[in-house]
Amino acid sequence: MMKRSPNSQPAGDDSVRVSAYERRYRNDARDLLYANYHSHSHLDWHDTDHWLDRQAAPILLAWSGNRIVGLIATSEPLNATCWIRLAAVTDDIPAQPVITALWQHLVPILLAEGIETVAVLVLRDWIIRYLQELGFYHAEEIVTLRRGFKPPGAVDKDDLYLRLIHPTDIPRIAEIDQAAFEPPWQLSLIELRRAERIASLSTVALRNGQILGYQLTTLSLESAHLARLAIDPKAQGQGIGGVLLADLIERLARRGIRSMTVNTQESNTRSQRLYERFGFRRNGYDLPVWMIHLHSKAPGTAGA
């Protein structure tokens, strides 16, 4: 646990130093994330070890003397946005100076990468007051809808052909995903490759040999989670989302899976109408998303 911090620089508070994460601090980083209430982990398709090992995006450590007391990590930039994927502060010291020091070091790195917007999915309330103090604002709610067992009803497939996803479909799926979603909701090619490997039931809808939409679903014992659904914007409003959803529900029923959940943005009323048409109802499990728009003049004091 007693580690020296290489190349660390003092931040706003002189008692906290910040350095880039290195592999040799992996156990300290894991301890920090797992053992403290002041911990945030929003990794979606990754686990903590994989995220720390790949180091594909900034990971910073905060030090007090020779002890690691804080950590922050973001996702890779995608269309000038990123997510805070990991954040943690030891519970036995005041969190504010540690978070401020980490943020002050992080902002210039993000700006150099061309990032303009940073988003945080609030999984635990502790983080809200610190986000407020850094200038983040509440931007959106992620809502959850649940569907109990019920046949989907007849859906006309017309000239659509549905099949399981092949790994070679991923570049086209990434194209659809990034056209269908706005930042910061888009997935990168790398994220989609990983998501497709992890998802248990993934299908595409094609017309005349061209993929026009896709869905990725994960399974856990008796329940399924529709993790992703997107239709090429040029083909939306033609019933393709409904056809993919009906086919998914049938495939799940054949496996004896009776309950299903999905998340979407509260502002995404179109997707909610589609889900409600298929018997999904909001279950009250909402998660806030906070964002900040960075500006280049004053790192660390960016505001919405």
Ligand X SMILES: CC(C)(COP(=O)(O)OP(=O)(O)OC[C@H]1O[C@@H](n2cnc3c(N)ncnc32)[C@H](O)[C@@H]1OP(=O)(O)O)[C@@H](O)C(=O)NCCC(=O)NCCS
Binding site residues, ligand X, CB under 6 A: 180-181, 229-231, 236-242, 264, 268, 270-271, 273-274
Helix (H) or strand (E) holding 243: helix 240-254
The Cα–Cα gap between 58 and 73 comes to: 6
* Residue 146: CB minimum distance to ligand X, A: 15
254 phi and psi, to 5 degrees? -65, -25
* Residue 228: CB minimum distance to ligand X, A: 6
- Residue 31 or 276 with smaller CB distance to ligand X: 276
- Residue 237 or 284 with smaller CB distance to ligand X: 237
Please work out, in degrees rounded to the nearest 5, the angle formed at the alpha carbon of residue 267 by the alpha carbons of 266 and 272.
65
* Residue 240: CB minimum distance to ligand X, A: 4
* Residue 86: CB minimum distance to ligand X, A: 23
The CA distances from residue 174 to 180, 194, 229, 244, in Å, are 10, 12, 12, 17
* Residue 237: CB minimum distance to ligand X, A: 4
- Residue 105 or 225 with smaller CB distance to ligand X: 225
User: Can you read off the two tokens belonging to residue 266?
Assistant: 């509260």
- Residue 134 or 291 with smaller CB distance to ligand X: 291
AA letter at 289:
V
- Residue 58 or 213 with smaller CB distance to ligand X: 213
3-state SS assignment for residue 227: strand
* Residue 93: CB minimum distance to ligand X, A: 39
- Residue 33 or 235 with smaller CB distance to ligand X: 235
Beta strands in 93-167 (DSSP E): 117-121, 137-147, 161-164
User: Can you read off the two tokens belonging to residue 45?
Assistant: 């398709």
143 phi and psi, to 5 degrees? -105, 155
